[in-house]
Structure 1
Amino acid sequence: MPRASAKKITVDYICKDLEISRSTFYDWRAKGRAPKCTKLPNGALRVYLTDYENWLADREGAA
């Protein structure tokens, strides 16, 4: 079921937050290490904020 009311963030937001390049993000995505992304009809990617926060929490737990 879609989460239409849930806040979505951009790849640029994530890159700025983590201080990484877009190419690093896409490399992580190709390797299955990035947060779950949703592809919009125009091809742009978005990440649900809750998915991003959970992904970050999982990374902190592994460190």
Structure 2
Amino acid sequence: MTAATRPASQLTVDDVCDELRISRSTFYDWRQKGRGPLCIRLPNGTLRIRRRDLENWLIDCEDPS
């Protein structure tokens, strides 16, 4: 499945890393520390991130100052 045919509501780790301009290692570091967005683990072991979960996580990361 290509990015063009993948549902926009589900992102891959690469999609999220590209959007946030971070490395995969940073993503997995955040995930290990419980500081990353909520993920879905598929039966084949790959991760997906719902667009709404990424957006909610970004809102939670906002700095009010």
**TM-score normalized with structure 1 length:** 0.83
Gaps of 5+ in 2: 1-6
CA distance in 2, matches of 1:33, 1:60: 13
User: RMSD of the TM alignment (CA)?
Assistant: 2.0
The answer to which structure has the higher helix fraction is: 1
Moved over 6 A (4+): none
Taking only the aligned residue pairs, the percentage that are identical comes to 58
CA distance in 2, matches of 1:25, 1:62: 23
- Aligned residue for 1:46, secondary structure, equals strand
